[in-house]
Structure 1
Amino acid sequence: MSLVTALIILAIILLIVLSAFFNGSETSLTAASRARMHSLEQEGNPRAALVNRLLQSPEKMIGAILIGNTLVDVLASALASGLAVVLVGEVGVVYATAIMTILIVIFAAVLPKTYALAYSDRVALLVAPIMRVVIIILNPITITIEFVVRFFLKLTPGKLDDEANILAAHEEIRGTIELQKIEGSVARHDADMLGGVLDLRDLQVADIMVHRTKMETIDADDPPQKVVDELLRSQYTRVPLWKDEPENIVGVLHSKDLFSALGRSGWDVSQLDIMSFAVEPWFVPDTTPLKDQLNQFLKRKAQMALVVDEYGEVQGLITLEDILEEIVGQIADEHDTHEAAIRVQADGTVNVDGAVAVRDLNRQMNWSLPDEEATTVAGLVIHEAQTIPEPGQVFTFYGYRFEILRKTRNKITALRISPAPVVAARTTKQSAG
């Protein structure tokens, strides 16, 4: 083997190594965790700061990588073809093409990309200083490429792109949380809380409010002694007051304000004027996003609001605790007396109250029943069945079997749910008899 041949082979090997470097750099820098790099930069890591700066100008980085990778691949193939022609004649071009294709695919593409994807953060920190030098060298060419890219990007609507980027960011975070939960890096409860924060922007007040049929209210015209007795029996510290009809809310009675008034009156209940220290009710539309409502609670330093529909009719109430429960799960204290609404049975079935929210059932049982068309489990069954079922009827949809246990008037009050042996494509209904 002559010296020239050896030098050409050495040059080809070096070019393949450079191609592997460019491919690995592209994969690692684009797959690197932005959150991890930001955290390392805050800790004073200069390489992480360099990675973040490179990612701030992706056009320059990708342009430099593509130019460098194209140059080394073309040059390596040209040298290999020339060497093959000298050694075996014109047929050597075929041999060189086949051999270089195999070498480039295996050693310059698949292997470096696979490694860079598996250790993206580590590789990104390693290649960042070298890529910075490459970008500076190839900057004149990349400026031209960047100009062309920006020209075509201007043809797309910017606002829609921004909205898509925001949605993509939320979905990326949600996907990361789910992946970490599956891999065991994040506990299920922690993952649910993080997901609950993201869900606030997609939920409305009407989705989690306490319905008016379940509200505890007090007639403001009742004698003061009766009002005091009802408030003391209640498990809540704030209770709405109504006049003439239950839907006509005229105030909110706070137990602390009641005791303060009692102290001022010498603890003479008959001297109390309930409406004099009742708080003015705060009404909010039922279409208010939960994220906005949470901000309003914090801004107004309030903890309860009455929910009204488009006609101004009271539909229910919402509290700060209700929103927090969407994030952290059920919050209970020593005064809560309600029974568990979701009861897992020994045979694996689940007895559920009809008023249970689909979201709460999904969270506790780790299921994925849809909640777009109905808020409660009973509402989901009625929506899918397109009828008000009778006790004993069985429905199967979304891979679960729903058996109606009890019904009061037109309201389903109890169901038994279990995974169906066969997932039904459409809702099916069977008679209990």
Structure 2
Amino acid sequence: MDDVPLALLFASLLILLALSAMFSGGETALMAVNRYRLRHLVRIGHTGARRVEELLRQPDRLISLVLLGNNFVNVLASSIATLIALRLWGEAGIAIGAVLLTITLLIFSEVTPKTLAALHPERLAFVAGYYLSALMAVLLPLVLVVNFFSTGLLRLLGVHPQANGSNQLTREELKTLLFEAGHHFAPRHRGMLLRLLDLESVVVEDVMVHRNEVRYLDIDDNWSDQLEQLRNSPHTRLPVCRGSLDNIIGVLHLRQIMHLLAGDDFDGESLQTLLEEPYYVPEGTSLTQQLLQFQAHRAHLAIVVDEYGDTVGLVTVEDILGEIIGEFTDNPIAVKSDVHPQPDGSCLVAGSASVRELNRTMGWDLPLSDAKTLNGAILEHLEDIPTPATSLLLGDYPVEIVQTRGNVVQVARIGARMKRGS
């Protein structure tokens, strides 16, 4: 090797360092590329994405290929660096060359390309896909031999390489992904997606209209009173009962009778012939399941019953969709009428207001528990019936009881959220 020009040795060393950088950067880019965006690009026909996905489909072969190439060029670079050092410094040059080559490899062939690949994985992964795919076609037999021995060694150690873990994301992982990628979504859209992921953990009882707030038609009332109620109802569907909600006989679709209300021949008996059979659901049904049931039954309203079969409220498709996208009908939002902002920044809130609705509409973070209303949350916290002027801390919010009636909190004042430690 003494007759090889020194310039040629330096040129060869530079080429090998560049190849080492390509292997190191390519490996990092391929492993760091966003797999979900990659699948999207594959679906729309991106050629580079298809090539990268093909390589990543068998990561054991990809790793073997990269290590084969990287080790080969690094060993060859070490040999050439040793020759150069011997020419320049003699026997002492071996140690000098080893130190210089280690530093050079570390900076130019490892840290720099890997950092660049980690910062721009997609762009560099598509470039690496070209030369690694070509190299895989050439070195596949050698890669298979290396994999055969490495797989055998893993099996001896009790590791089964084929037992790949699931690539499916859990609900919590999806939520984390949405938070981290929040800058790609409008805040409203991100909120909708997060609420959609939480839909399985919310039950009908959390969003239903409670029994004491349900508007219904009692056929035992005077007929003129029934007509007045039908003409002024803000709802398109009404439960029809005899005496109370414990005796529901059907559900009336008001659009079906609007043209009949002006006629003299429309009476209680005619009304009963137009009733639809009531659809009952248990209060513990998840919103995801209930939405699917609404679709299967082609229903828009369901009567909610407890474990004893007693009516506790009703739920509509709009209630569930409102949990995802917020209120969207022309009807007034109930919680708005329950909250009255005060000049000092506090709010007077009706005790019957839903805690979930308050959190969602007002942007608060009141603690959720078995109690669904503000009155229930206060009673659960105090474990006693409060009197006016009683104060408490509900979560991080100061609450003052303003008005009670019997055993029920009618109005409470909720102040601004207190900071931790204050």
Q: If the TM-score is normalised by the length of the shorter chain, which range does it land in?
A: 0.7 to 0.9
Distance in 2 separating the partners of 1:379 and 1:195: 27
- Pairwise CA distance, 1:241: 2.0
The answer as to whether partners of 1:239 and 1:254 remain within 8 angstroms in 2 is: yes
Structure 2 Cα separation of the partners of residues 387 and 155 of structure 1: 60
Match of 2:368 in 1: 371
2:41 partner amino acid: L
Classify the secondary structure of the residue corresponding to 2:398: strand
What displacement does 1:141 show?
4.3
Alignment-derived partner of residue 27 in structure 1: 28
- Alpha-carbon distance in structure 2 between the residues aligned to 1:323 and 1:173: 21
Residues 1:259 and 2:258 aligned together? yes
Q: Percent identity?
A: 32
Q: 1:256 to 1:126 in 2, by over 3 A?
A: same
Q: Secondary structure in 2 aligned to 1:323?
A: helix
Question: What does residue range 118-137 of structure 1 map to in structure 2 within 5 Å?
Answer: 118-136=119-137, 137=139
> After the TM superposition, which parts of structure 1 deviate over 6 Å for at least 4 consecutive aligned residues?
146-151, 335-338
Structure 1 residue matching 2:296: 3-state secondary structure: helix
The structure 2 residue matched to 1:140, chosen from 139, 144, 148, is 144
Give the aligned residue type for 1:331.
Answer: F
Question: 1:322 and 1:11, CA in 2 relative to 1: closer, same or farther beyond 3 A?
Answer: farther
Residues 261 and 272 in structure 1, CA contact (< 8 A), matched pair in contact too = no
Aligned counterparts, 1:159-198, within 5 A = 162=166, 165-168=167-170, 170-181=171-182, 183=183, 185-198=184-197
Unmatched tracts of structure 2, length 5 or more: none
Shift of 1:303: 0.7
Offset, 1:166:
3.9
**1:206 to 2:213 alignment:** no
Task: Quote the Cα distance in structure 2 between the aligned partners of 1:315 and 1:273.
Answer: 28
Tell me the CA shift for residue 373 of structure 1: 5.4
Question: Which residue does the alignment assign to 1:431?
Answer: none
Please state how far the C-alpha of 1:240 moved relative to its aligned partner. 1.3
Q: In the alignment, does 2:323 pair up with 1:329?
A: no
- SS of aligned partner of 1:201: helix
Q: Per the alignment, do residues 223 and 377 of structure 1 end up closer, same or farther by CA in structure 2, a change over 3 Å counting?
A: closer
Report if the CA contact (8 A) 2:335-2:358 is conserved: no
Name the counterpart of 1:430. none
User: SS of the counterpart of 1:293?
Assistant: helix
1:262 shift after superposition:
4.9
SS at 1:131's partner residue? Answer: helix
Give, in whole Å, the separation in 1 of the partners of 2:205 and 2:381.
20
Taking a change above 3 Å as real, the CA distance of residues 166 and 34 of structure 1, as seen in their structure-2 partners, is closer
Q: How does 1:87-166 map to 2 (within 5 A)?
A: 87=89, 89=91, 92-93=94-95, 99-136=100-137, 137-138=139-140, 139-141=143-145, 143-144=147-148, 145=150, 152-153=159-160, 162=166, 165-166=167-168
Distance in 2, matches of 1:249 and 1:90, equals 100
State the Cα distance separating 1:370 from its structure 2 match.
4.9
- Deviation sequence 1:242-264 (CA, Å, 0-9, x none): 2344233231121123336658x
Unaligned runs of 5+ in 1: 425-433
Distance 1:71 1:358 in 2: 66
> Following TM superposition, by how much is the alpha carbon of 1:298 offset from its aligned partner in structure 2, in angstroms?
1.9
Choose 1 or 2 for highest CA Rg: 2
The structure-2 alpha-carbon separation of the partners of 1:421 and 1:40, relative to structure 1 and needing over 3 Å to count, comes to closer
CA RMSD of aligned residues (A): 3.8
Report the alpha carbon displacement of residue 238 of structure 1 after superposing the two structures with TM.
Answer: 0.9
Deviations 1:254-309 (A, max 9, x none): 1123336658xx44343634332211111112222211211222222211111222
The number of residue pairs the alignment matches comes to 413
Aligned AA (1:281)? P
Task: Report if aligned partners of 1:396, 1:420 keep a CA contact under 8 Å in 2.
Answer: no
State TM-score, norm by structure 2: 0.80
Q: Bigger shift: 273-282 or 316-325?
A: 273-282
SS at match of 2:246: coil
After TM superposition, the score normalised by the length of structure 1 is 0.78
Please give the alpha-carbon distance, in whole angstroms, between the structure 2 residues aligned to 1:111 and 1:279: 72
Deviations 1:13-53 (A, max 9, x none): 44443343334333333333344334433443211222333
Would you say 1:44 and 2:36 are equivalent positions?
Answer: no
Aligned residue for 2:420? 422
Q: Which amino acid aligns with 1:320?
A: V
